[in-house]
Amino acid sequence: MPNLKHHIFVCCSFRGNGNAQGICNKAGAVSLLPYLEEELADRGMHDVQVSSTGCLKVCDRGPAMVVYPEKWWYAGIRGQDDIDTILDALEEGTQSAEFAM
């Protein structure tokens, strides 16, 4: 495991049996993962890891993700522009206010 600066957990609504059935999945959270990975690579942010997760228990505000170790929670992430906004802030070492919970 490399020395990570950040670890981003993206809710993909996976349940214990492996099925993805929750709100974040239905709202397209899984489709955000490839773009997030590509954008991190394009920005040279190789010390940031992305993991998909089960329900983060904030379904009414999803799609949701959280950045560790800062514990920066984000909600209502709908597309690539939203990811760009969040990563712009992360590059600056701050939390994006636009999607912060």
Cβ distance to ligand FES smaller for residue 5 or 79:
79
- Chain positions contacting ligand FES, by CB under 6 A: 11, 13, 22-24, 55-59, 62, 64
CB of 4 to ligand FES, least distance (A): 23
Query: Shortest Cβ distance from residue 42 to ligand FES (Å)?
Result: 26
Pick 3 or 17: Cβ nearer ligand FES = 17
Min separation Cβ 78 and ligand FES, Å: 13
Between 46 and 79, CB nearer to ligand FES: 79
Residue nearest to ligand FES (CB): 22
What string of H, E and C letters represents the secondary structure of the chain?
CCCCCEEEEEEEEECCCCCECCHHHHCCHHHHHHHHHHHHHHCCCCCEEEEEEECCCCHHHCCEEEEECCCEEEECCCCHHHHHHHHHHHHCCCCCCCCEC
